[in-house]
Each structure stands twice: as C-alpha cells, then as structure tokens.
Chains A and B, each alone.
Chain A
Amino acid sequence: MAENQTNDGTVAMTSWQLNGQEVENPTGMTIMEAAKEHGIEIPCFCYHPGLSIAGNCRICMVESNRSRKPVISCSEKIADGLEIETESELAVSSRNSVMEFQLINHPLDCPVCDKAGECTLQDHSYEHGPDRSRFVEDKNIRHTKELGPNISIWGNRCIVCTRCIRFCDEISGTSELCIVERGDRSVVDVFPEIPIDNQLAGNTVDICPVGALISHDFKYEARVWNMDRKDSVCGGCSRGCNVEVETLDGFVKRLMPRENLEVNDWWMCDEGRYGWRHLYADDRLSQATRDGTALADDSATAALEQLLSESGPVAFLIDPFLTCEEMHLVQGLAASRPGSSVGGWLPEDGIAANFPSGFKISAAKYPNRAGAEHIFGDQVFGNDATELQKALVSSDFNTVVAFCGGHLSSGPGESWAKALSSTPTSIIFSVKSGPWLEGASLVLPATAPIEKDGTWINEDGRLQRTRSCWNPGTEPFSVELVRLQTLQNALGIRGRSLSAAGIFRELAANNDSFAGHNHSDLGSPGLLLSERPAGIAMDGGSE
C-alpha cells in the first residue's frame, strides 16, 4: 500500500536537504509533512491532513533547487538530492506576498469575529504579514447569508481555501457547497434551494481557517481565549468521537472534534456536536426528591444510604451511559447485597451512517455497551425490555436502583415506569425528569455523558478516557462517582473515596478484561482493550 514500503518490509527513506541540513524522511512524504518532523512548521491555509490537496492558497511556498519558481510544500514531495530553503529571501518574500494579498480585501473585523483567537489568518498575519497595508482601494464586498439551518457564510472573510467544499465532497459526500463567481468576487455558497444540512455539516465551521463559516449555535457566544477546555468523548453513540468541550464561566458553549485517527479522524457529527444543549433543557432534572419532596444534596446521599442499608436483595438496572468506573462501583454494591442482580435496558437502536471518507455514526446511541458486557457479562442487557420488566415485577426484589442516564434518550418508557413504581423501594438516578420518576422513593439527578469522568469502550473495543466538562469541585451536583463511593463508605465496603483513575485501577486489578490498563497510559487515541500498554506485565494483578 504505502509507496515507501520496500520488499523486506522496511520503510524506504529519502535523503534531502532542509535549510542546509542533510535530513532523511520516509519516501513519499510531502515537504510540509517531512519538514514538520524536523521541527519546521511551514504555514498553510488550504492544506488539511484529512482532505485532498488543493494547493490554492500558496502560503506554503518554499525555495527549491529543482525549480526556478517557488514550490508549494503541501503538494511537492521530497526527493533524493532535493534542497529546500524555508527561510531564504525567495521563500520569505513569497510567504509575505501571499499574506499581503490575503489581507487586502479582508475586513479585519477581528473584534467582532467569532474566529478571532483561533484564526489561521490572524496567526499567520502576526508571523508573516506586513504591519501596514499598501492597499488604498475600496475593499470588495461579498455576501453574508445563511447556508443552512446551522451555518452562515460571512463572505468578506472567506479566503477561498475550499476546505469546506472539499469536506462536503470528500468526507460527508454531500457536495452542497461550491464557489460562486470568479476572481476576487469568489465566495462560498450553496446551490439554490439546497441548504447545507448534512449530518457532518458542523465540521466545515471548524476547518474554516477564518471566521467565514459561522455556526449559529456559537455566534457571539464567547471569545475563544476565555474558554476552558476539556478532552472528552462524545456519548451520543458507540463510535465515541473524541471531543473538546469548551466552557465559559461554568457553561458549555461549544463542542469541537478532537483528532483521533483510530476513531473519528478530525470530525464529529452534528447530533453529537449540538447535543450539549440537553444539559440545559427544561426537563433536565436538577433536584433530588424523596417521595416527592425536595431534598438538599447531602440529605439525598444520606437518604440513599438509609434506603440501601435497610434493603434486602437489590435489582440494579444499569444503562450503557455509565462509565466503566461507575459500573465497577455498581458491581461492588451488588456484591455487598447478597441475592442482588444487575441487568439493564438498551435504548432502541438508531440509524447508522457510513460516509465515503470512512467516518461512521453508530446505530447504538449510547457510549458503553461493551464496557458493561466486560464488567457484568454478555447477558447484562436483555434485548427485550418487556422481558426484563416482567422479571422485575414477578421477582421478590423489594428495592430497585435504576440509572437513567441517556441525555438523548426519551427515558425508559411507560412499562418501565410501571415496573419501577410497583417495586416497594425504587431509587432512580436520572438525567431528565419524566413520568418514570412518578412514585419513586428517591430521585437523584444524574450526570450526562460529557459531565462524566472515566472510561468508555466504543464499538471497536477501544477503551477511551473521557473527562468531565466541569472543573473538579464545580459540578452543579454530586456526580455518581462521588455519590456511589460515599454510599460504599457508609455501607462499610470501601475505606476511602478515590478518583476515577483510582477506581479504574481497582477494576483493572479485579477484571481480566481490563488487566494491564490504566488511565495514564490511554493517551489520546485510547487503546483497544486487547492491546495493553507497553511495559505492563500481563498478569497485572489479575488476582
């Protein structure tokens, strides 16, 4: 496959010169990629590692001994004997020229531009641009208009890099975007009557190097440098796209995909991207109640202790939104109440989608089915919800603890509500309020996926670390991880509370599937459960 693979399986290398130094890189690399390996970052606008090469912005021009004219390093490949200068007079003046051209018609409305602070044009301008303009003419005006339900184009800012167009052609395969007009009137548009409205559309805003594509959701919401960022994983489906959750003063403002070539490349779907709105939905449950009466947070934990310490065998109803760590705590609780059992329901399957680029959306609209199966066994989730409900009604459990975590799911449904209310003591952790909470003995607000700290296992069996969008200690209410450990402490099955990483260590020590793994070795691409981190003994505490 790779053009640098030799017959004996080694990687063929090319020797070339970079700024006077002899260097080597795998054959077939572009100058830009290869230079980066030697610590030289050549600026780019139109280049994006996930898209085809357009070579139109010309900012990446460098001097080559093979060409009279400067060459573009995003497309030109390294070759034996090639000599490249990135800082020669020609290279520098070519770069400066492109910057001057990019800026002459640009409105420079950074103070009101959502991209400011993460704008490639700003960054390159600072480094390579002129400090004043020689352009005394009137600037061109291009259209500002809605392109679709979530996206608008601010044409004056567009640098015509065509990243967004290539995205729709190559990644989503929907081809809604195009350039209209020519020359310096060129601007991105949609075809008449066909808005950009595909499942991946939001990514075009991320990859727009400037503030030309604007997300309605984020418009004027925050200055990007003021936001806090957390590396999280989207819980919208079993793909588990890596995301960055950005918050301002304790409010989520935006989700952005985080590069993970094993899972989501550079992308995420719109359902996941805009899903955070559910955190602030009107039906979000924020108040603990005991038999319908509001409880303070501490008293809620106390009530939980009281109910469980008095209970006989408990039916734990889990859902695939819990992290592995939370599940491990549930398992500990179940083991401490003899006769207890753990089962669960799965929200109904959604629709899967496969895109030409290989990007996938899973039909399983929850993040951690695989984790539950590794912890509780393959049979933990019945595929027939009514079966489970019947079992619950006919059994002699007098206490049920249910987790109702899916912020996207509409709740467990009517039959479940009935089953729960027919059990003498029902304790429900729920993200949303809804009819299933009626008649419950104790209702506890639960955390939504991006609020959780822990690990999930995606549909490929990849163990991934997700971090809560909140800073430690600023959660609006106790997370399950804390609440369940406090409970375990009170019931005498645990001595002290641990972090998510500590709980995971316990899990890894007690469950062969997880043996050898730990949070700190997961890194950003995560690890397949079957590939343990290097240097860890395989018997890593299986007893």
Chain B
Amino acid sequence: MTFRKILTQHIAEDDCHTLSFYQRNGGYSQAQKSLKEDQPDDLIELVKAANLRGRGGAGFPTGVKWSFVPKSSDKPKYLVVNADESEPGTFKDRVIMEKNPHLLLEGILICCKAVNIQTAYIYIRGEFVFATQRLQQAIDEAYEAGILGNDCLGSGLSIDVTVHRGAGAYICGEETGMLTSLEGDRGQPKLKPPFPAIEGVFGCPTVVNNVETLANLPYILEIGAEAYCAIGPEKSPGPKLFCVSGHVENPGTFELPMGIPLRKLIDEHAGGVWKGRKLKAVIPGGSSAHVLTADECDVAMDIESLTAAGTMLGSAGIIVMDDSTCMVDALVNLMRFYHHESCGQCTPCREGTGWLEKIVHRIAHGDGRMEDLDLVLDVCDRMVGKTICALADAAAFPAQSFVTKFQDDFVAAIQNGGSPAWKKRHPSAVGGTASHG
C-alpha cells in the first residue's frame, strides 16, 4: 500500500485552512457520522484497536488514556489540547494549526464524543501568534456553520472549543503544568496521582492530548483500526510528522509513515547533510532524547525501535549535526535551555539543571577539569527519576549521552582550554587553568 498523506496532504494550497476547502475534501464527514451514530465505548475501543499512540512525546496509548476517565461523574469533563509545542526541534503541531486547523477541530469533536465531553480548551504557546489566528478563524467558521456550539453537526450534542494562549514556557507543555497554567496559576506541574483523567483541570476529569494525536482521529474512523495498524509498525502505527532541523540541505516537516528509517528521512526527504559534510550526531525525538552517533543512525523512526536503540521518538523533532559541530557547545546550548525552563519546585531539577549548565559552560570556556565528566554523569544520576515531572530527566538525558558518546569533544575542550569556537574568539586565553576544588 502506498502511503497517503493525511495531515499535510493539501498544505501547499492557498486556502487549505478554510472550512470550505476542508469540507470540499470530505472534511467533517467522519465527525458528522460519528456524533450521530457511534457509541462512546465503541469509539474508545476503535482507538485502542488502532494502537494510536500519543504524539506529544510520551507515546501513551490514546484509547487507554480515554478509558481511565470515569464514566459517571457529577463533575464536568474537559478535553485540553496540548498545543504548547515547546520541545526544542519540534514544529509539527504548528503546521496542522496553521494549515489544517479544521482537521484538529474534527479530531476534537470525535474525542469529545468518545469521552462525553462538552468543553475543550486548546492551550497554545504564546509565541504562536499566527497559528492562534488561524485556529480562531477556523473555530469562528465552525461555530457559524453549526459544527461547534449547540447541536454540533445536527447531532444534538453541544461542544465548545476555546483557545487559550500560554505565556511561553516549556514547562507549560508538561500536561499538569499546562493545566495549572490554564487554571490561572503559575505554570508548574502537579503531583501525580491523581492523574488528569481522574482529577485534571479545575479538579475535574480531563483528557489531555497533543494536537497531532487528535488530528489522526478522523482518518482512523475513515479507514478503520486494521488498515490504520498497517501503516508502519503495528504497535505504533499511523502517519507521522517528522520535524527535521539542523545541518541538512532541506529542513522541514515531513509526513511519513511511522517506522521510516532515520537515514532515509535525512538523506532522501531532508536532502542529506548539508555542504557535503559528514553526519556526526542526531537527536531523534526532541532535545530531551538521548543523542545518537552517526553509527547509531540505522534505526527505524517509531516508538519501539527508538526505545530499543536507547533513545526515544519523543516529539519527533530530529536535530541533525554535521562533523563541524562541537558537542560541548551544543550541550551548553541545551543545558542553558533546561536551566532556564525548570519551574524550580523540585530540588533535584531546580539545582541540578543550573549546576549542569555551569559545569558544561565552564568546560566550553576553558575551565574544565577531567573530573567534571564524571561529575556531570553523577549529577544526572541524582536528577533522573527523582522529581515531580519529567523535565529533570529531559535535561539529564542529553547531558548523559553527549558526555558518554562524544567524550572526545569534552576531553579536547578540557585539554585545549575550551571549545574550538571559544578558542577562536579568545585566542590568547590560556586553557586548563581551573584551580578550583
């Protein structure tokens, strides 16, 4: 079976984001039918059978997540769509929201039907001004056309969708951080349990799903679970958006079947490593994933294969680094990000992210000590698995894998008085003068 693009099929067309375009191409027909005819439980079973896995980063089975929401509850239930897209290297939800917003809305309707939800929020990162406008236009059109609001698509169901802009914080992409922010508080994750499905936004049962996850729903309804499972590996199937950035000739977002070989993605779709240089490293799933060396890049881009390779599919943000890259400088950049974005409530993350940045920064700037390499790894060990949310792990993973897999770069920076770029800017600096400790 040849692969058909589902999420981005029409994005080259001028008016692809409009309701009329979407409907001309069969849009809303799945929701229309489903809202009227389907039983919620059947929908949940269908999504389970399709093995739809969350596209936000954790890859949790979507149907299973929905089934955790209590069937009978005297509280309202909510859907909160995670459109925070802040994982470095990730720009896929943005494409859907800017170019195909009605697909997301149709997915929202199907999810609301399956879980008996009447209110959905789309939590979108503040920097996405254009995407917010596009989304809002689409929502307005949908209300106008009777697709949202009372009696959606003539089904008798009432479903409201509201766009909520964040202020631009990575931690507001973590689901409970997002919910806290949506509630109007300082965005910081909550202790789990209780999980959002039981006690989420405003203390009510809440489904949290990523934009791309929901955008897959109409297609699953269209072709059925069996056909969907046939796209890519059975355990994590489906069309998938891969964001390729970094040292490639043709960076961008590519819709391909799950399980596409990483090398094929880079070489054929992204035009290969730029300037004829050689591949040095690839971060395969957003900056929080363990980095792969060039030798490790013969791997399929799906959840299971990447987990087996000791890394993760994550948000499918693929950052390609050529052989001119100094891994020390690259890591400084990443550590600065996590240090800046840690919400600061858990001790290991609050202190660990700052400490890591300071050490790596010191190495890059010529004050490194050989014992710093072990220290970085030990600090990482002391962070992983010891915090409220996974940001601490997300900061530690790149630090661990950069230092172990590209040890030579770090040793060179320590011995030569800093990273090559630092040396170039500070030619007279004398390295190895660290007199600490």
Report A87 CB to chain B, min CB distance, Å: 17
B352 near A69 (CB under 8 angstroms)? no
A159 near B347 (CB under 8 angstroms)? yes
Chain B contact residues, majority secondary structure: helix
B266-288, CB under 8 A of A: which get 1 and which 0? 00000000000000000000000
Q: How many residues of A contact B (CB 8 A)?
A: 38
A102 near B355 (CB under 8 angstroms)? no
A282 within 8 A of B: no
B249 within 8 A of A: no
B186 within 8 A of A: yes
Chain B: CB-nearest residue to A100? B382
Stretch at the interface among B293-301, B384-392, B406-414: B384-392
Report B375 CB to chain A, min CB distance, Å: 6
B355-395, CB under 8 A of A: which get 1 and which 0? 10011001000000000000100000111011110000000
Chain B: CB-nearest residue to A136? B436
Given the interface pairs A137-B362, A182-B341, A182-B342, the reply to whether A57 lies near B354 with Cβ below 8 Å is no
A56 within 8 A of B: yes
B437 partner residues in chain A, CB cutoff 8 A: 134, 136
B343 within 8 A of A: yes
CA distance A159 to B347 in the complex (A): 8
A140 near B191 (CB under 8 angstroms)? no
Chain B: CB-nearest residue to A184? B354
A-B contacts at CB below 8 angstroms, number: 97
B419-437, CB under 8 A of A: which get 1 and which 0? 0000000000000001011
Interface positions of A from 75 to 110, Cβ below 8 Å from B: 75, 93-94, 97-98, 100-102, 104-105
Select which of B171, B348, B358, B388 is within 8 A of A101 by beta carbon: B348
A123-138, CB under 8 A of B: which get 1 and which 0? 0000000000011111
CA distance A97 to B359 in the complex (A): 17
A535 partner residues in chain B, CB cutoff 8 A: none
A104 partner residues in chain B, CB cutoff 8 A: 351, 355
Report A188 CB to chain B, min CB distance, Å: 12
A59 partner residues in chain B, CB cutoff 8 A: 347
CA distance A97 to B381 in the complex (A): 9
B340 within 8 A of A: yes
Given the interface pairs A134-B375, A137-B355, A160-B350, the reply to whether A181 lies near B385 with Cβ below 8 Å is no
Among A68, A100, A138, residue most surrounded by chain B Cβ atoms (within 10 Å): A100
Report B379 CB to chain A, min CB distance, Å: 9
CA distance A134 to B379 in the complex (A): 10
B345 within 8 A of A: yes
Report A149 CB to chain B, min CB distance, Å: 26
B382 near A97 (CB under 8 angstroms)? yes
A54 partner residues in chain B, CB cutoff 8 A: 191, 345
Q: B-side interface residues toward A, CB under 8 Å?
A: 169, 171, 186, 191, 339-348, 350-355, 358-359, 362, 375, 381-383, 385-388, 434, 436-437
Given contacts A183-B353, A184-B339, 10 further A-B contacts (CB under 8 A): A56-B346, A61-B386, A97-B348, A101-B348, A134-B437, A135-B355, A140-B354, A160-B344, A182-B342, A183-B354
Q: A-side interface residues toward B, CB under 8 Å?
A: 53-59, 61, 68-70, 75, 93-94, 97-98, 100-102, 104-105, 134-138, 140, 159-160, 162, 178-179, 181-186
